[in-house]
Amino acid sequence: MISAAEILNSNILIVDDQLSNVLLLEQMLESAGYSQITSTTNPSEVYELYQKNRYDLVLLDLQMPIMDGFQVIEKLKGIETESYLPILVITAQPNHKLRALTMGAKDFVSKPFDLIEVQNRIRNMLEVRLLYKKLEYYNQSLEETVAQRTTELCASEERFRRLTELSSDWYWEQDANGQFTMVYGPVHEMLGIRINDVLGNLEEQGIIWDEAERLILETNLAARKPFLDFVYSRNKPDGTRQYLMVSGEPVFDPSGRFIGYRGIGKDVTDTMAPDKITRQSN
């Protein structure tokens, strides 16, 4: 909501080549409690004044010499290219109203004007203008917040990747069907695993897993249990044996539905002898 104090503190510009009209409008606004009032009888000054002050409302006469109100509107549109143009036109020519509104003015009053009508239209326009400004500020603030959070998330993800690189050889994620949906690190080079591969299909690549070990791993996965430092082995196509250590945890959505696994893995072939491997079932 816009308070009465905010409306009365709005920044208003009066543009009319007739000083008597300017004085009348100034008196009317001051008696209503408005305190931020600027006026000019020279329409050539309006562009610079508006660019400097960005008024909440411009009371604009259309019939002026040298530069009429339509020309003033056109110049102000160059400042407010994508924003609200807060112009209330004042005219004695009925056919000028539609043209002014089409060009971007938001409302009009007719000469000779009724002071009560002018006051009501001014108040209504200012309320809309201030609401629009609050919306612009909110949107800008929201964009800045989103940009900041995105930067923070990117930094957090980078720290996470770096930590994963330091503590393991790769990070992995699987969907509920066991397909790899994300991997960080040299998992393809070390295991031959690609995105969308399924563990059970790797024999087609010439890889033979230790069935007993893999059964334990698959049992944990099927039970959706977490597992820590589980070591299992496989025979590679070149006949050598490879030992891997993996840790993983099940992932659930906010409703509690299982959506997959995520974890880390490490090649421990060079650091662990076969007789020191402990098969872990939990």
In a domain, 208, yes or no: yes
Among 6, 32, 101, CA closest to 60: 101
Please say if the pLDDT value at position 24 is more than 50. Answer: yes
For residue range 53-79, what is the model confidence (pLDDT) as tens digits?
Answer: 999 999 999 989 889 999 999 999 888
Q: Mean pLDDT throughout 20-30? A: 93
14 — pLDDT class (breaks 50, 70, 90): very high
Helices (H), 168-277: 187-191, 211-222
In a domain, 161, yes or no: no
Q: What is the CATH number of the domain that holds 53?
A: 3.40.50.2300
What proportion of the chain, given as a percentage, has pLDDT over 70?
83
Residues 130 and 21 in one domain: yes
Residues 176 and 98 in one domain: no
CA distance 28 to 34: 9
The count of domains in the chain is 2
In a domain, 219, yes or no: yes
In a domain, 158, yes or no: no
Residues 129 and 173 in one domain: no
Structural domain boundaries enclosing 176: 168-276
In a domain, 65, yes or no: yes
Residues 175 and 261 in one domain: yes
In a domain, 29, yes or no: yes
CA distance 125 to 118: 10
In a domain, 151, yes or no: no
Q: Mean pLDDT throughout 185-207? A: 55
Residues 13 and 135 in one domain: yes
Residues 37 and 129 in one domain: yes
Residues 173 and 243 in one domain: yes
In a domain, 236, yes or no: yes
Residue with tokens 């008196």, as numbered in its chain: 27
